[in-house]
Copies of this chain bind each other. A is one copy, B any other.
Amino acid sequence: MLWPIFAIVISFLAFGVAAYFYKWVKALPSAEGNIDEIGSWIRAGAYTFLKTEYRLLARFAAAVVVLIIIFLPEPIWLADADRFRNIAMALAYVLGSVLSGLAGYVGISIATIANVKSASAARKGLTPSFMAGFRGGAVMGMAVVGTSLAGAAILYMLTSDAEIVLGFSFGASSLALFAKAGGGIFTKTADISADLTGKVELGIPEDDPRNPAVIADNVGDNVGDVAGMGADLFDSNIASLAAAMLLAIPLKQVDIIFCFGGLGLLASIIGVLSTRVGKKGNPGRALNNGTYLTTIIFGVLTLAATLIFDFTIQLWLATAIGLLAGTVIGFTSELFTSDNGKSVQNVARASVSGPAFTILSGFSYGLISSFPAILGIAGASLAAYKVCEPLGGSYPLLGIAMAAVGMLSIVGMIISNDAYGPIVDNARGLAEMGSLGDEVLGITDELDAAGNTAKAITKGFAIGAAGLTVIALLAAYQELLPEGSQMFNIMDPLVFFGLLIGITVPAVFSAMLMMGVTRNAERMVAEIHRQFDQIPGLREGKEGVRPDYNKCIDIATVGALKELIPAGLMAILVTLLVGFVGGVSAIGGFLAGNITSGLLLALLMSNSGGMWDNAKKYIESGNFGGKGSDAHKAAVIGDTVGDPFKDTAGPSINTQITVVSLVSSLCAGLFIMFSVF
């Protein structure tokens, strides 16, 4: 039990760092003027969303808890069922949701302070503004990884039962589904509605305070990108640990998981603490350097630990392979979505011929961009397997799980970089709404651009990590089956049937979310029109006249959760249907189909969305006619299509795949007992 304790100690160290950063950011000088006030509206809006989300989630979780107690891991009415295990799993499920929710709450709470501080600090220069944004994000990073690692370690120490950890993971995924997909619908509803009514109809700037949707838009950055992405990576991180534990317990190799998990968090702490930027420094490079540093420290520390404590060297190799693949995938995403890249520039060039060509070229590049990332995932899992093959038994599968653990080891640093993005994006908005002047806007723009690049990298990373994790979960699923049913032969018609149905689920799921965004945006646009019509002086910007921001926040909140539930239920119900009809082998195929098509669609949507966004920015920076040209108008249409692609559907697919994988693993026993075939 030495290494789980080590992991818990490091987790508490991370909490310490988070608390230090929290205080540090909070102690930064407060802003003058109305920035504080606007910031407080954003904060209140974000809390409103969280409260509604958590209330709904609590009801959902209550239902799941009842189901778990009755059915999982074994139906309670069976003579030899261990009923305490059912209760333990239910508690683990609740713990997973609560810890993930807590981490999201902490993240939002600091992000909505750090945005104001970062905007205020920008008046003193780039360095303090960057530090406010980054350290605010790092609070989230430390909180997420600390709680997930400590939670898994404590559960393991209490139960030594990997299936219970799967329940914990399922709790985290349930929350992630709400946070990521719900937040994704929220943020794009507000973003699109604000753009359509503000920029397009009235010709007012992006963050003009006259626009009733402008606060909702800034809230969206927080709930979609801070809380949502945090919950997504929390979820992947726990799932990778759970899958690895499930495979490692029979092999007595759990120590290495907690050792590497702890060292990964330690490396992230060092990385986060040493990230800073000079007065004339490049914030993008500072973020990347932090990631490199963390990666190197992790590699060195784990190799040293492996040699000193005599861990199996092949497992270290598998971990290193995963880490390497994560880095490669992240930077491939950047290559495709950066405005220095050929693809973004070609999408911008195509926009000269009209919006149809913007769409066609971005979509085509998006399809192509899936290839290197999927090759990376395929190569990493094959290499990790082959490296561990000489060890025999289920070591090769553990190798794949360790690759997932390795990829996620630096997740503390990744989340910090990622949460930095929406904070400085908000800071930019506050600087504009508070009229802080062009010099400050210049600084916040530069910080924002670095955040966008970081986001492209972390999004690719998140998809890659989810990919490896669900492959590990598939291995864990197989491990849970009795001897003889562990073969998913593609030529078995049930497996093939499952495979075919599996590929359609991410497609239908993402379509439902995107339709949710457009339906919800229609509602919000109608409300904005109503306000402009009925509030006298609003359109003209008369002194003291203020729109009803809360109404828009309400629409986004209620709509997001309403639209998300059918999509989430669809994914879960289809899984159960396939399982109860086709049995465990159909589920084997189903998961493979779900994973593969999920990866394809997630990469397509995230990357083409990123390309359209940056093609628009590339044109705005003066190319192909610049702002206001026909090419720009075409690129704006591309960007609007890309918004739900890259911020709603694309990244939510990760969570959908994980949820479905966990449901399958947890219900494997039920499928064996009750399936038709």
Chain A residues at the B interface, C-beta cutoff of 8 Å: 196, 200, 350, 353-357, 359-361, 363-368, 370-371, 374-375, 377-379, 381-382, 385-386, 396-397, 400, 471, 474-475, 478, 486-491, 493-497, 499-501, 503-504, 507-508, 510-512, 514-515, 517-518, 522, 525, 588-589, 592-593, 596-597, 599-600, 604, 637-638, 640-641, 644
C-alpha gap A1/B355 in the complex (Å): 60
Contact A592 B367 (CB under 8 A): no
Contact B371 A508 (CB under 8 A): yes
The smallest C-beta distance from A504 to any residue of chain B, in angstroms, reads 5
Contact B377 A490 (CB under 8 A): no
Q: Which residues of B contact A514 (CB under 8 A)?
A: 360, 363-364
C-alpha gap A356/B641 in the complex (Å): 5
Contact B596 A497 (CB under 8 A): no
Contact B381 A350 (CB under 8 A): no
Residue of B nearest to A200 (CB): B354
Contact B491 A368 (CB under 8 A): no
Q: Which residues of B contact A596 (CB under 8 A)?
A: 499-500, 503, 593, 596-597
Q: Which residues of B contact A366 (CB under 8 A)?
A: 511
The smallest C-beta distance from A487 to any residue of chain B, in angstroms, reads 5
Q: Which residues of B contact A495 (CB under 8 A)?
A: 490
Contact B518 A361 (CB under 8 A): yes
Q: Which of B385, B478, B504, B525 contacts A600 (CB 8 A)?
A: B504
C-alpha gap A478/B491 in the complex (Å): 8
The smallest C-beta distance from A594 to any residue of chain B, in angstroms, reads 11
Q: Which residues of B contact A503 (CB under 8 A)?
A: 374, 596-597, 599-600
Contact B353 A522 (CB under 8 A): yes
Q: Which of B196, B497, B510 contacts A382 (CB 8 A)?
A: B497
Residue of B nearest to A581 (CB): B382
Interface contacts beyond A360-B514, A363-B511: sample of 8 additional A-B pairs, CB < 8 Å, sorted by A: A360-B515, A364-B512, A367-B508, A367-B510, A367-B511, A487-B487, A490-B588, A597-B597
C-alpha gap A316/B176 in the complex (Å): 49
C-alpha gap A673/B588 in the complex (Å): 30
Q: Which residues of B contact A357 (CB under 8 A)?
A: 518
Contact B497 A381 (CB under 8 A): yes
C-alpha gap A365/B510 in the complex (Å): 11
Contact B604 A507 (CB under 8 A): yes
C-alpha gap A478/B311 in the complex (Å): 41
Q: Which residues of B contact A374 (CB under 8 A)?
A: 500-501, 503-504
Q: Which residues of B contact A385 (CB under 8 A)?
A: 493
C-alpha gap A226/B357 in the complex (Å): 27
Contact A375 B489 (CB under 8 A): no
Q: Which residues of B contact A359 (CB under 8 A)?
A: 359, 637, 641
C-alpha gap A375/B196 in the complex (Å): 38
Contact A504 B589 (CB under 8 A): no
Q: Which of A368, A400, A474, A525 has the most CB of B within 10 A?
A: A368
> Lowest 7 CB-CB distances: which A-B pairs, in order?
A356-B640, A378-B500, A367-B511, A385-B493, A364-B511, A488-B490, A367-B507
C-alpha gap A367/B506 in the complex (Å): 9
C-alpha gap A313/B499 in the complex (Å): 29
C-alpha gap A509/B433 in the complex (Å): 47
A500-B374, A500-B377, A604-B507 given; A386·B515 CB < 8 A: no
Q: Which residues of B contact A525 (CB under 8 A)?
A: 353
Q: Which residues of B contact A471 (CB under 8 A)?
A: 496
Contact B588 A507 (CB under 8 A): no
The smallest C-beta distance from A478 to any residue of chain B, in angstroms, reads 5
Q: Which of B507, B518, B522, B588 contacts A370 (CB 8 A)?
A: B507
Chosen A-B contacts, 24 in total, with CB atoms closer than 8 Å, are: A355-B355, A359-B637, A359-B641, A364-B512, A367-B507, A370-B508, A371-B507, A374-B503, A377-B500, A378-B497, A378-B500, A381-B497, A382-B493, A385-B493, A397-B491, A400-B493, A478-B491, A487-B491, A488-B489, A489-B490, A490-B495, A499-B596, A503-B596, A503-B597
Residue of B nearest to A586 (CB): B382
Q: Which of A400, A489, A504, A592 has the most CB of B within 10 A?
A: A504
Q: Which residues of B contact A487 (CB under 8 A)?
A: 487, 489, 491
Q: Which residues of B contact A597 (CB under 8 A)?
A: 503, 596-597, 600
Q: Which residues of B contact A375 (CB under 8 A)?
A: 500-501, 504
Q: Which of A363, A522, A641 has the most CB of B within 10 A?
A: A363
Contact A501 B368 (CB under 8 A): no
The smallest C-beta distance from A655 to any residue of chain B, in angstroms, reads 17
Q: Which of B350, B363, B371, B488 contacts A491 (CB 8 A)?
A: B488
Q: Which residues of B contact A354 (CB under 8 A)?
A: 196, 200, 637, 640
C-alpha gap A359/B490 in the complex (Å): 35
The smallest C-beta distance from A325 to any residue of chain B, in angstroms, reads 12
The smallest C-beta distance from A25 to any residue of chain B, in angstroms, reads 37
Contact A364 B504 (CB under 8 A): no
Q: Which of A196, A350, A496, A515 has the most CB of B within 10 A?
A: A496
Contact A592 B501 (CB under 8 A): no
C-alpha gap A600/B490 in the complex (Å): 18
C-alpha gap A650/B512 in the complex (Å): 22
Q: Which residues of B contact A497 (CB under 8 A)?
A: 378-379, 381-382
